[in-house]
Amino acid sequence: MTSKKSAEADESPQPDKEGDASSVAQALGAVQRAMEELASLLGADPEAAARALKEAGRAASDNLAELAGEARDIGEAGLAEISQSVRRNPLPWLAAALGLGLIVGLWRNRAPRT
């Protein structure tokens, strides 16, 4: 499957560096025009709108980083709790793993193969 993807990637046309530069310039121009339009709608100058957008982006980035840290902490705490539970009482976990393996094995054998 990866060879198919790599073959498709090799066949796709590769843009040249001049095309990339003009695409970037066009994108920057579009962003500048959008900022100017936003500024005119808000009645502010473009620099003030750009500063406000940058500040909002920084705040969103900070919030995202904080949420990612909290999610990591919750995941690590849950993993530690499960690990302690397995060490204290391994037989129920072993039985659950064997049961799950049996169910998956039976399910795979019954599934039609194409």
- Write the pLDDT tens digit of every residue in 30-62: 777 777 777 776 776 777 777 777 887 788 888
- Contact in structure between 37 and 49 (CB atoms under 8 Å): no
Separation of alpha carbons 111 and 34, rounded Å: 53
* CA 81 to chain centroid: 27
Q: In the predicted model, what is the mean pLDDT of the chain?
A: 77
Please give the average per-residue pLDDT across 77-82, as a whole number. 94
Contacts of 44 (CB under 8 A, 6+ apart): 52
> 58-81 in b/e burial notation, b at 16+ Cβ within 10 A?
eeeeeeeeeeeeeeeeeeeeeeee
Whole-model pTM over 0.95: no
21-29 mean pLDDT: 74
Residue 19 DSSP SS3: helix
